[in-house]
Amino acid sequence: MKPSVIRALLKLVQQSDVISFAGGTPDAELFPRPLLAELASKAILEQGRLSLQYGETVGYRPFREEVCRYLRGKGIACEAENILITTGSQEGLFLLSMALLDPGDRILVEEPSYLGALLTFRNFQGQCMPVHCGPDGLDPAELEKTLESGLPAHPKFLYTIPSFQNPAGSTLPDAARKRLMELAVRRGLLVVEDDPYGELNYSGEPLKPVKSHDPGHQAVYLGSFSKIAAPGMRLGWVCAAPELIGRLTMAKETVDVCTDVLSQAIATEFFKSGALASHLDKLCSAYKARRDVMLESIRKFFPAEVQVNQPKGGFFVWAQLPQGLSASRLFPAALEKKVAYVVGEAFHAAEGRGENTLRLTFCAVDETRIAEGIQRLGGVFKDALVAPRR
C-alpha cells in the first residue's frame, strides 16, 4: 500500500487560510439538515428496534427496494436481488477488487481516473492499463482497437466514470454509451460504471447511465448517496447480477458485517419523502453558478496557453498547462499565493504522465473566493510562462 498523495496534500492545504480548489467534498451548507434530522428522529424512535440492530449484510431490505425504484427511474432494469448496499461506493470498489482480482490482473482505466479506484486496484495487485480519456470521455472506437490489438490480454474489467468524471470533468455522450455497451457485450468485457456525479447535471440534457443500455449483466453499476445528499452517512450501492451480488456480499461479511443500518433507514425515508428531486434542483443551481464563475474567471485571468475543459456537471475543471510546465513544481508558488489545486499526475495510472495537468474543484468555495483564487492562480501561471523553463 502507498499513502494517497491527495490526503497528504489536503492536510497541508487545510492548515492555512488558502482558497482551496483541491478537495472534492460537497458544500456542507447544502446538506438537507432539517429534513434528515426529522427523519433520523423517526428512524430511531419508530424503527429503532431494527435500525439500531445489526442488519443483513446485503443491505436493509426497504432501502434496497428504494434504491431499486430510483435506479429503474434512470432506465436501469433491476430487482432487489440485484442490489447490494455498501459503505459508500468506495467500499463497492473495494469489494469488487476483493471478489474479482487476482494478483497481476489487468484492469482498463480511463487516463486520468479517480485516485481512490486506482489505489484500490493497486492494493489488490491489479495492473491498471490506461485508455485515453478526452473531453467526451473514452472513445469506444479507440477502446475497440486496443482490445483488438490483444494488448492488454484478457482485462478483468473496464472501470469507467462516464458522467462528469473525476478528475477530468468529461462526459461520455449518449450515443457513445450505447456503442460502449454493444462493444462490451460483443467482446465479453465486464464494465464497471462508477456514477457518483450523474445527478449533478447542469446542461439540462438528460443522461442515461451506460448500464441502462445493458441487455443482461455485462455492466456493474456503482451509485452513491455522498454527492446527492450527505457523504457522512456513508451509503453506496452496487447493481449487478445476483451471482456477483452474492460473492460481493460474502466479501462484505468479512469487511464490516453490514452498512450502518440507521443511515439506511434514514435514507429510505429520504427517498420515500420525494424530497430528492427538489434537493437536486437546489444543488444543481448552486454548483452550476460556481462552475460558471470559475470558467468565466479562467477566461479572464488564465493565460491563453492554459487549456481547460468545460464540464457539463459534477465538481471538476481539468486544466492542462503548456508542455514543459509542471503542476507539482508550481504548487509551492500557488500555496504561497494562498491558493491550492490537486496535481494531475496523481490521477494517472502510468507513472510520469500528466505532469502538466491539474484539477480544480469549484463545489465548496463561494463565488467571490472562486474569482479571487483563479485570479491568483492565473498570476502564478503567467509568471511561470515568462520564467525560463527547466
Ligand X SMILES: Cc1ncc(COP(=O)(O)O)c(C=O)c1O
Q: What is d(CA 172, CA 166) in angstroms, rounded to the nearest whole number?
A: 13
Q: Does 24 bind ligand X (CB under 6 A)?
A: yes
Cβ-based nearer residue to ligand X, 26 or 155:
26
Are 328 and 299 within 8 A, CB to CB?
A: no
Q: What is d(CA 108, CA 128) in angstroms, rounded to the nearest whole number?
A: 6
Q: Does 161 bind ligand X (CB under 6 A)?
A: yes
CB neighbourhood size of 121 (10 A)? 26
Q: Does 355 bind ligand X (CB under 6 A)?
A: no
Nearest CA to 162 among 187, 193, 135, 139?
193
Q: Does 209 bind ligand X (CB under 6 A)?
A: no
Binding mask 162-181 for ligand X (x = CB under 6 A): ----x---------------
Are 63 and 51 within 8 A, CB to CB?
A: no
Cβ-based nearer residue to ligand X, 93 or 319:
93
Min. distance of Cβ 378 from ligand X in angstroms? 26
Q: What is d(CA 51, CA 264) in angstroms, rounded to the nearest whole number?
A: 8
Cell numbers describing residue 92? 463497492
Q: Does 62 bind ligand X (CB under 6 A)?
A: no
Q: Does 342 bind ligand X (CB under 6 A)?
A: no
Min. distance of Cβ 108 from ligand X in angstroms? 16
Q: Does 116 bind ligand X (CB under 6 A)?
A: yes
User: What residues pair up with 191 in beta bridges, in sequence order?
Assistant: 158, 219
Q: Does 260 bind ligand X (CB under 6 A)?
A: no
Among 231, 313, 344, 354, interactor with ligand X by CB under 6 A: 231
Q: Does 268 bind ligand X (CB under 6 A)?
A: no
Q: What is d(CA 328, CA 261) in angstroms, rounded to the nearest whole number?
A: 42
The residue with cell 437546489 is 282
Min. distance of Cβ 155 from ligand X in angstroms? 19
Q: Which residues bind ligand X (CB under 6 A)?
A: 24, 88-90, 114, 116, 161, 166, 194, 196, 224, 226, 231, 236
